[in-house]
Amino acid sequence: MDAFMSSPVMDMLTDSLLWLGLGRGLILTLEVAVLAIVLSFVFGTILGAMRYSRLPVISHVAGMYVEIIRNLPVLLLILTSYFVLGLPAMWAATIGLTIYTSAIIAEVIRGGLNSVPKGQWEAARSQGFSFLQSMRHVVLPPAVVKMIPPIVSQFITVIKDSSFAMAIGAYELMFKGTILAATFWKPEQIITIYIVISLIYFTINFAISTFARRIQAKLSVGRGSIGA
């Protein structure tokens, strides 16, 4: 404990260089993560609906994508986006994360849709609803409640996996911390930097998890238990 309260640590914690560096890294981390989350949710939902559809060709194409991509390392997809596609570091990280996360979200969507009893589909179709109308008004509302936990869990993973962007030189939070560790080079300072970074990640992800649980609880009102 004395080491962390020693003068080098306190000097570092009061130095604006530390907080400006981490702040800029956090901004890029959030930019990459938010873009990847939004894009992967959109494409993942489309892929999940395609895989769930009763059209063999569409379902098989989506299935092939999911099975191939989810068995590849995220870092490989980021490196491919950077070196093969020639994208800037930020966009290479975003696209790599989007490609991978879309496959995971697609499976979550398909699982959520499969959890809805077929009787609800039949009831919707008997009322003359089209596939899209049935999906929007009858099937998705109860399915979304069950999808929230795994989707949020995957989005939290995206925030953590954004640290892979340091491999292609993106100045996100972890890379900024590594650079600062070379500036504040004493062991107790380096340890403190990574403790601060850990607390930042924890705070963001815990806040997201708490918010998601509240949303799920509200959506579950009138629909029975969350796991039903």
| pLDDT top residue among 205 and 185 | 205
Rounded-to-integer distance, Cα 36 and Cα 32, Å: 6
* 3-class DSSP assignment, residue 84: coil
Q: Supply 71's token pair.
A: 């068995």
Q: Is 185 inside a domain boundary?
A: yes
Q: Is 28 inside a domain boundary?
A: yes
Structural domain harbouring 29: 7-220
Q: pLDDT tens, 54-67?
A: 788 999 999 999 99
Q: Is 131 inside a domain boundary?
A: yes
Q: Is 82 inside a domain boundary?
A: yes
Mean pLDDT score of the chain, rounded to an integer? 88
Rounded-to-integer distance, Cα 70 and Cα 100, Å: 6
Q: Is 42 inside a domain boundary?
A: yes
Phi, psi (5° rounding) for residue 224? 85, -165
Rounded-to-integer distance, Cα 59 and Cα 170, Å: 36
Cβ atoms of residues 227 and 44 within 8 Å: no
**Which amino acid is it at 39?**
L
Structural domains counted in the chain: 1
Q: What integer is the mean pLDDT of 87-104?
A: 96
State the pLDDT confidence band at 227, using cuts at 50, 70 and 90.
very low
Q: Is 226 inside a domain boundary?
A: no
CATH code of the domain covering residue 159: 1.10.3720.10
C-alpha distances out from residue 61 to 5, 52, 57, 67, Å: 58, 11, 6, 10
- pTM, 2 dp: 0.86
Q: Is 228 inside a domain boundary?
A: no
Q: Is 1 inside a domain boundary?
A: no
Q: Is the pLDDT of residue 158 over 60?
A: yes
Q: Any residues with CB less than 8 A from the CB of 170 and at least 6 apart, and which?
A: 28, 32, 89, 90, 92, 93
| pLDDT above 90 as % of the chain | 64
* Residue 225 pLDDT: 41
State the pLDDT confidence band at 144, using cuts at 50, 70 and 90.
confident
**DSSP 8-class letter at 4:** T
